[in-house]
Structures are given as C-alpha cells and as structure tokens.
Amino acid sequence: MLRRALLAILALLAQMPAGRAEDPFITVASTTSTEQSGLFQYLLPLFQQAAGITVRVVAVGTGQALKIGEHGDADVLLVHDKIGEDAFVAAGFGVGRHDVMYNDFVLVGPSGDPAGIAGVTDITEAFKRIAAKPATFVSRGDDSGTDRLEKRLWAAAGIDPVAARARWYKDIGSGMGPALNTAAAIEAYTISDRGTWISFKNRRALRIVLEGDKRLFNQYGVMLVNPARHPHVKAALGQRFIDWLVAPEGQRAIANYKIDGEQLFFPDAS
C-alpha cells in the first residue's frame, strides 16, 4: 500500500509543470519619502518590466539606510543627505554615487499660524519665531535626511531645542507620514519633503507656511554598496538598476510621476 501511494505521488509530481527559478532581485535601502510619496509603486514595475529584475525596498530614514549599507544588508542605496552620502563613499562603504532627482522641503503648520511665519522667506527666522512663541514643533527624530536637515536648520538659527529639553519640541522618532499625522492632530509645525506632502491626504488644518528658501533644496542620490567591502552584494544587478535610473528612460519615468497633475520629483542625473 505504501509503495502504491509513493508511486501515485511520483506520478502526480511528473504531471506538474517544472518550477521556474526565482526571478533575480536586489535589495534597495531608501528613504521613506520615495515609498510614502508613491514614487516606488510607480517606478519599480517599469524597471522590472525593462530589466526582469525585482526590487525589494527597505524604506527607512536616510541615516538608517546608510547604516544598512555599512553592514552590507542592501545592494543599492537611494537616499537624500548628500553630506552623509559623500562620507559613506569616502569611508569605502559605497561606490559610484550619482545625483538622480530633486525636490524641496517645506515648512508646514496650522492655518492659524501661531508663530506668525506668514510672509517670512528665511527658514532660520521662521525657526526663531517658533521657539520664541513658543509654538509646538514635531520632529521626526529618526536620523532621516529630513531630520538631519532640520537639526542643521535649528543650529543655523542658534537654537538647540533638544539640549534645552523644550516642551514645545515633540521628537516622535518616526517617519514622515506619522510626523505629518501628528502635526495635523495637534496643530503643530513640521518640516516635510514636498513629495510626501503632496501625497499626504490627512492635512486637516495644516498648510505650507514657508517654501522657497534655497536651504530647503532636497537632492536625492543613488549608489552601489561597495562589493569590495561586502562580496555578497549583487553588484551587476544593482548597477543595472542605477544605470536605468540615471538613463533617459528612468529619468523620464521620474518626471512623469505626478499626483493630480503636480510633479513630485525632478530628474537631474548628469
């Protein structure tokens, strides 16, 4: 009886189609803004169709993405803190960094504007007014590219709300979406990348109160995790993704991603 059962199983297996080898894939550690803005949901299927390579995304703050790259737990990084990226490459953890696209950051706050920022064009002056009021400010506090920029802006304004243990400064240790949700719920100010802001639907009384300061420029870069440091990195597959992003096909795809007719990212690969 056992023999007949085994023969039946073997016959059934023989009738089944041969299994297909797993599609090649790479792991990309990237900022939350590329995920939460919807860019990756639009972009990655186009790359997969063109190259036959699946992209698995780890969406975290830029600082954490760089740490993931240092440990060799990703093949490619797509992040937005050029100072940190240049240091990452200089330390030998990454190779071949390229500019990919840009947008900008915006300061958003409650429509009542308790800090009186309306009409201000200098972001450090706006931060000084928030601290002087004081008005509630939500910080991501997650070592993301946005968080790193915010901390540099507070320093440029001559204010350290963390060291001062300012009660009006709310450090949530989370991503851009949760930071915007928190700011909307408690009617606070926060810094957001424009891509996530455009795609954010739960604005309530939030609105942009300051934009256009050149210090709010937001550059994104892509690089391969150094295979000489981590031999298991899928260098050839990762480089194909990078090459596609900076080539005309990828750059057009980035430019074509819009929400309600509004472009979120602007390609600028050399």
pLDDT tens by residue, 63-77: 999 999 999 999 999
Name the helix (H) or strand (E) containing 89. helix 82-90
pLDDT digits (tens, 9 = 90+) for 176-209: 999 999 999 999 999 999 999 999 999 999 999 9
Residue 259: strand pairing partners: 262
Res 249: pLDDT: 97
Coil, strand, or helix at residue 238? helix
- Report the DSSP beta bridge partners of residue 55: 26
Dist CA 155 CA 164 (whole Å): 13
| Helix H or strand E encompassing 219 | strand 217-225
Task: Find the mean pLDDT for residues 82-87.
Answer: 96
pLDDT at 18: 42
Over 80: is that where the pLDDT of 5 sits?
no
User: Domain-by-domain residue ranges, the chain?
Assistant: 24-103+219-267, 104-216
C-beta neighbour count of 178 within 10 angstroms:
16
pLDDT of residue 57: 97
Beta carbons within 10 angstroms of residue 18's beta carbon = 5
Superfamily the domain 104-216 falls into: Periplasmic binding protein-like II (3.40.190.10)
Establish whether domains 24-103+219-267 and 104-216 are of one fold. Answer: yes
Buried b (16+ CB within 10 A) or exposed e, 70-89: bebebbbbbbbbbebbeebb
Phi, psi of 34, deg, nearest 5:
-70, -25
- CATH code reported for the domain at 24-103+219-267: 3.40.190.10
Decide: 197 and 108 in contact? Cβ < 8 Å.
Answer: yes
User: Which DSSP state fits 142?
Assistant: S
- The mean pLDDT value of the chain amounts to 92
Q: In terms of DSSP bridges, do strands 25-30 and 54-59 run parallel, antiparallel, or are they unpaired?
A: parallel
